Chains A and B, each alone.
Chain A
Amino acid sequence: MELVLKSASEETTLALGSSLGSAASPGDVICLIGELGTGKTVIVRGMARARGHSGPVTSPTFTIINEYVDAGLCHVDAYRLDTGEQLIGAGIDDYLDGEWVCAVEWADRVRPALPSNALSIEIAFGEAENERVITIREEGGWDGRLARIMKELMSE
């Protein structure tokens, strides 16, 4: 299943992240793909807020992996990595044991290290200044939960 959304503002993108954060369960992996400045971190921030984390949410560009223990959320930034092996070397396996929700920015750079069953979110710049085109795709099946997330988004 694939869902294409248009977000007109950062607030809308944040709300999408929030819906994803509420819908996600431990063990879920969210792959975030998009150019610099498209709002990958905004999605993760929304996820973290919805899951009860009130502290800062910034991309761990140099530390690679941030954990927000209070939200059960693992935040990965693979911008500086080139291979899946490098992400494994940075310790990702500790977070793929079903205890954490993992949100991975630049997931396309390290895709082999992540499970095939994941939710992929691609963000592209839209035509208007703050517009983003967000494509959400179930990779390997996400147990149909995307339909429920869509329903939640439509009701907002």
Chain B
Amino acid sequence: MSVKEHGEGAMPVIVAWDTCMIRGVIAIARGRQLLAETYFEAAKGHSGWLMPEMDEALVTARVSRAEVTHVACGTGPGTFTGVKVGIACAKAVSMGLGVPVVGMPTLDLLAHAAPGIDRDILAVMDARRGQLYAAAFRPTDETLERLTDYMCVEPSSLCCVAAELDIGDLVVAGEATVELMDLLGKTRHVVTTGGDYPTGGALIKLASDMIESGDVSDAVSVAAIYLKKPV
């Protein structure tokens, strides 16, 4: 007997990726079961390989394009080209297959890549020029609650934010720098997850949560998260 999880829809078949950091990931899942995941160097020429990589992952997962019910992508912040290519491809696939888009902030993906953690999580990414992209999360029963806005700040400001929010012991996910760990470690116990980049598991976990709560968009309305103001 097949499980009908979403009203008239069958179990979601998700093709998901994040290209916003220097290591990219593609994942394919049926329901919450991960069928394929591929990692790749994303520093050069994203646009050339993302779609072929997606097709290859679909073959590995034994999923046809026609079966796909949702396309999910990391929406940044992140590298200039990576954010744009990831979202543009998701919009294209959404339009081409006639399926909705799940836009997942990349900092949320980093936090979700830290499994089974019972204390607050600070997700950070290198924003270049001495700045970090960051957001803090608190584990709840089923998922993670975001405690802060998505920020682009210097490491020292992050310590102030942590103090203001009364964040105690902390796990840092993503691109934790030695400077940041030293700063945070002055007043609390801090460890890193060691997971620097989003994982296939994180893509599918967050996409599935968002699909279940109806948090999906169409190709037009899914938008990138840019934290550096255009000049």
Interface centre among B45, B81, B129, B231 (most CB of A within 10 A): B231
Rounded to whole Å, the gap between the CB of B84 and the closest CB of chain A is 9
Query: Closest residue to B129 on the A side, CB-wise?
Result: A93
Would you call B4 an interface residue if the criterion is a C-beta within 8 Å of the partner chain's C-beta atoms?
A: no
Q: Specify which chain B residues have a CB less than 8 angstroms from the CB of A96 in the assembled complex.
A: 128
Q: Are A86 and B81 in contact (CB under 8 A)?
A: no
Q: Are A85 and B231 in contact (CB under 8 A)?
A: yes
Would you call A35 an interface residue if the criterion is a C-beta within 8 Å of the partner chain's C-beta atoms?
A: no
| Tally of contact residues, A, Cβ under 8 A | 15
Query: Closest residue to A99 on the B side, CB-wise?
Result: B43
Would you call A55 an interface residue if the criterion is a C-beta within 8 Å of the partner chain's C-beta atoms?
A: no
Q: Are A93 and B80 in contact (CB under 8 A)?
A: yes
Report if A69-B45 is in contact (Cβ < 8 Å); known contacts: A93-B80, A93-B128, A97-B22.
yes
Would you call A129 an interface residue if the criterion is a C-beta within 8 Å of the partner chain's C-beta atoms?
A: no
Report if A69-B231 is in contact (Cβ < 8 Å); known contacts: A91-B80, A91-B81, A93-B80.
no
Complex Cα spacing A85 to B230, Å: 9
Q: Specify which chain B residues have a CB less than 8 angstroms from the CB of A131 in the assembled complex.
A: none
Identify which of residues 55-100 in chain A touch chain B, using a CB-to-CB cut-off of 8 Å: 67, 69, 72, 83, 85-86, 88-89, 91, 93-94, 96-97, 99-100
Q: Is the interface of B mostly helix, strand, loop or mixed?
A: loop
Rounded to whole Å, the gap between the CB of A67 and the closest CB of chain B is 7
Rounded to whole Å, the gap between the CB of A12 and the closest CB of chain B is 32
Q: Are B231 and A94 in contact (CB under 8 A)?
A: no
Rounded to whole Å, the gap between the CB of A83 and the closest CB of chain B is 7
Interface centre among B22, B79, B80 (most CB of A within 10 A): B80
Complex Cα spacing A69 to B43, Å: 11
Query: Closest residue to B78 on the A side, CB-wise?
Result: A94
Q: Specify which chain A residues have a CB less than 8 angstroms from the CB of B81 in the assembled complex.
A: 91, 94
Can you add 12 more A-B contacts, CB < 8 Å, to A69-B44, A94-B82, A97-B43? A83-B231, A86-B231, A88-B228, A88-B231, A89-B230, A89-B231, A91-B81, A93-B80, A93-B128, A93-B129, A99-B44, A100-B44
Q: Interface of A with B (CB < 8 Å)? A: 67, 69, 72, 83, 85-86, 88-89, 91, 93-94, 96-97, 99-100
Q: Interface of B with A (CB < 8 Å)? A: 22, 43-45, 48, 79-82, 128-129, 228, 230-231
Can you report 29 residue pairs joining A to B where beta carbons are below 8 Å apart? Answer: A67-B44, A67-B45, A69-B44, A69-B45, A69-B48, A72-B44, A83-B231, A85-B231, A86-B231, A88-B129, A88-B228, A88-B231, A89-B228, A89-B231, A91-B80, A91-B81, A93-B79, A93-B80, A93-B128, A93-B129, A94-B79, A94-B80, A94-B82, A97-B22, A97-B43, A97-B128, A99-B43, A99-B44, A100-B44
